[in-house]
Structure 1
Amino acid sequence: MAANNTFVSYDGGIQQLEGEETKVIIPAVLGTISGLGIGGNVLVLVILIYVFASQGASEAYVMLANLSVTDLLILSVCAPARAFTYYMRSWTLGLLACRTTEWIQHSCLAVKAFTLLATSQARHDFSTHPEDHSNFRQKNVVITLVIIWTVALVFPVPDIVFSRLKEEGNISLCVTELTSQSQDAMRVFSKMLPLGIYVLPIILSAVCHIRTIFLIKPSTNEEVFLSRQYENSLMYLSVIAVNTLMMLPEWASWVWMRHSSGESCRPSAGLLIFAQVCVYLSSVFFPAIVLTMHVPLRESLSNLCSLLACRGSKHRLKTEGNGNEMRTMVMKVLDERGCGTTIERHSDACCQTLPELEHFWSERRNTTVTEDSDPLPWERLNQSNVEL
């Protein structure tokens, strides 16, 4: 390394790790976390799409969808790149990926922080003046999302500037390497980035939700309204708290790495790996918290499951053959009576049988052989004589 250059950190995961176990364990852990997180966030998006189709869009649901999309980007782009780097122990993804891997992850983390802040402020305004937010303002939501993504993509641009490929022997390394002229600018950037996308958004978001819980009172004595506001505020506070705890090792090690005076004062490889795992765990915890604490989404999930189960049973009855043609005709009769047209509103209607049809089937099943048609009458006669 040249005398006027200063090595700061690896980008996209630590390279040149020792030990065969790290080559298998770390990619397996990251892959498991990615799979769980992608499944959970896809489920949240499916429920939100169902809510949009049945009830219409709202500002809070659009922000939740934005958070899920951001977590999907982190888990499907950033986590696999790091898992592959840990497995290869060198950088083989090219210069473009080297320059953008840290930038993409920091941009997604900034989007999450700014979205939570915008949602917190919107909920605070709604609790204060609910009459002013009766209609969904699509234009304002679109403008807010554009501003969030623009600022989040521009803020960590120095990650692109300072990342580069470094050849060491016969392998390539993706590192952040500073020259003596850029060290002062990097010191400012290393303070502004965590302050702007970690500390300030968390503090402001928490303050908004705490004010909503303890200070905001509804204008009328609606207990349901007040209870729902408390539940939603507690849910968002839980998301903010988990995001804060999971991001703390990442930003602490990131600042520590860039302000350490010597090689011996830098954080260990174990701490850096733990910090990266915590970043991806936060994207796994988000759908778990939302689906357990957000009552409307939990009810929508239950309704969606009931609807799918009803449609699955109806399709299974239609595809059965042989002795079940009559049941298929029953389902057709149910459709003609209007069940098929109201399945979106009453998912259980198609799964019920009409009383007269149920009586018809019970009589068909419970038929017994009469005495006049008994094929062996003498056996019954002999049995009667023996008893006598």
Structure 2
Amino acid sequence: MQDSLIWTMNSSKVLIFAGGFQLLEGAEFTITLPVVLAFLCFIGFVGNIFLTTVLVSDFRKGKSSIVNSLVINLCAADLLLILFCVPFRAVTYSRQYWNFGRFACKTTDWFLHSCLAAKSFTLTAIGEARHKYVIKPPKFITLHHRRLVGLLAIIWVFAFLLPVPHLVFSALEEDNRGTFCVFEVPYYASNFMNVFSKIYPLLAYVLPVSVTLGCYARIFCRNQPKRNRGANPRQQSHKVTLMLMSVSLAFSVMMLPEWIAWIWARHSSPGGPQPPAVLVILAQVILFLNSTVNPCIFFAVSEEFRDGLSSLWGVLTCAHLRGKWSLRAPRTGENGAEMVTSTVQCLQDVETIASPTASQVSRDNTGKFLPDLEHFWSSRETGSKAEDNDPTPWESQDK
């Protein structure tokens, strides 16, 4: 078994595996590890799809906020990781060599790091948006769609451009053991790679994480007595801030092993200590595990997200089970689209809960309309006394 990330083909050529660790031996790597990745892929896909569906349903109803939109972008990055990165890693661990061709070899690490950079930048934007809302709420109520689209475009453009050296220096190598995908830096680009390996972690991980955690630190360190304005929905946002900060902390902690292995491999000398295979594999498993943690945090902390998940599950189940879910979630409507609970109140803390309309009040638990009692009593009160005191009303009806 290859016991480190560095692969020495001969005495003068040292390469780094790309697209997943190769030359693995043992059932714990070739069987157990792909099964674990497949399980994470399934859990992450289901969780992010449910979370995205709940938020998109609110967005289609016109109940959107910048934080909701950024959370959708975060879920999109997780889904891209799960669908286009995890399967390649699982197959590579199982086959012990690369068999997806040259194009997949050159793009696999580049696409992985692009999604990680997009997640890092998105979490920074969420922290900054949350900080602006808490500090200056009156100026942060309106959602400007053009600004949001521009922000998302900037996030993804920088995310795709930053790890371009992974796209340039990844290549296929062949020997008598098979074909392998490696990260090979030519001699003429060694100085550039030496600088890039120092700047890239700062731009993609250290700086965004520092800004994000700094935003939440300023939120919790603000002067609380000056913010006491009575019963205001915006003031009841401590739990929301904790939830968003937990997502950022989870990302920061779970990405740390991957960056340690990445920096170690790029700065290690051929004869010096090298990152062990166990560290590299464990770091990648934790990396993909983070894509399943984010939906779990939202659904575990937020009651509104749990209600939305329950409502969605009620829509997907059989017709005879929908009545049970409607009893558990009385805020559901007639059709499936209205059954998804609004979660904008959870993340934005701006929308106030509207009072139920007369038509909503006059429904029973089965969704049927009851008689309009308000109109009935108003007509009774405005009716003439002669009609109320008439001893023979049937005669008047006959006339």
What range describes the TM-score normalised by the shorter chain of this pair?
0.7 to 0.9
- In structure 2, distance between residues paired with 1:179 and 1:343: 56
Residue by residue, what CA displacement relative to the aligned partner does 1:152-199 show, whole Å, maximum 9, x if unpaired? 000000001111111111511100112222221111111112111111
How big is the shift at 1:223?
5.2
2:298 to 274, 290, 295: 290
**What amino acid is the match of 2:148?**
V
Residues 289-321 of structure 1: per-residue CA shift (max 9 Å, x gap): 011223443343345456667x823999xxxxx
Report the CA distance between 1:121 and its aligned residue.
0.8
Q: Superposed, which structure 2 residues align to 1:232-251 within 5 Å?
A: 232-251=240-259
Q: Deviations over 1:265-297 (max 9, x none)?
A: 101111110000000011110000011223443
Which residue is equivalent to 1:351?
366
Instruction: Determine if the alignment matches structure 1 residue 262 to structure 2 residue 277.
Output: no
2:110–2:167 Cα contact (<8 Å) kept: yes
Residue equivalent to 2:81? 74
Question: Which amino acid in the other structure matches residue 190 of structure 2?
Answer: Q
Partner Cα separation in structure 2 for residue 152 and residue 208 of structure 1: 21
Alignment of 1:129-208 (within 5 A): 129-169=136-176, 171-208=178-215
What residue number does 1:114 align with? Answer: 121
Contact 2:315 2:336 in 1 (8 A): no
Who is 2:234 aligned against? 225
User: Which runs of structure 2 are paired with 1:289-328 in the superposition (5 Å)?
Assistant: 289-305=297-313, 312-313=319-320
- Counterpart position of 1:372: none
Change (3 A) 1:186 1:341: closer
Partners of 1:155 and 1:144 in 2: CA distance: 16
CA contact (8 A) 1:247 1:279 kept: yes
Q: What is the CA–CA distance in structure 1 between the aligned matches of 2:211 and 2:290, rounded to whole Å?
A: 19
Query: Alignment partner for residue 279 of structure 2, among 267, 271, 281?
Result: 271
Alignment of 1:22-61 (within 5 A): 22-54=29-61, 56-61=63-68
TM-score of the pair, normalised by structure 1? 0.78
Please tell me whether the aligned partners of residues 250 and 290 of structure 2 are also in contact (alpha carbons under 8 angstroms): yes
Given that 1:127 and 1:216 are in contact with CA atoms closer than 8 Å, whether structure 2 keeps it comes out as: no
Q: Unaligned regions of 5+ residues in structure 2, if any?
A: 1-8, 324-332, 340-359, 372-399
More helix by share: 1
Change in Cα spacing, 1:216 to 1:148, as seen in structure 2 (3 Å) is farther
Instruction: Return the letter of the residue paired with 2:338.
Output: E
In structure 2, the residue matched to 1:325 is none
Measured at CA, do residues 110 and 216 of structure 1 come closer, stay the same or move farther in structure 2, by a change above 3 Å?
farther
Q: Could you tell me which amino acid in structure 2 is paired with residue 232 of structure 1?
A: V
Distance apart, 1:21 and its partner CA: 3.5
Distance, in Å, in 2 between the alignment partners of 1:354 and 1:224 is 32
Aligned partners of 2:14 and 2:270 also within 8 Å:
no
Aligned length: 331
**What per-residue deviation string (whole Å, max 9, x for no partner) do you get for residues 48-76 of structure 1?**
12222345221111001000010001011
Contact 1:128–1:216 (Cα < 8 Å) also in 2: no
2:289 aligned with 1:281, yes or no?
yes
Code of the aligned partner of 1:220: R
Bigger CA drift: 107-116 or 192-201? 192-201
Structure 1 equivalent of residue 376 of structure 2: none
> What is the deviation of 1:135?
1.8
Q: Please say if residues 171 and 182 of structure 2, whose CA atoms lie closer than 8 Å, have aligned partners that are also in contact.
A: yes
CA distance change for structure 1 residues 304 and 21 in 2, over 3 Å: closer, same or farther?
closer
| Separation (CA, whole Å) in 2 of partners of 1:107 and 1:343 | 34
Unaligned runs of 5+ in 1: 317-338, 357-388
Q: Secondary structure at the match of 1:149?
A: helix
1:231–1:216 CA distance, 2 compared to 1 (3 A): farther
Identity of aligned residues (%): 34
Distance 2:50 2:322 in 1: 23
Q: Output the aligned Cα RMSD.
A: 2.8
Separation (CA, whole Å) in 1 of partners of 2:91 and 2:114: 21
**8 Å contact from structure 1 (residues 59, 141) kept in 2:** yes
Find the structure with the greater CA-based Rg.
Answer: 1
Q: Tell me the SS of whatever aligns to 1:175.
A: strand
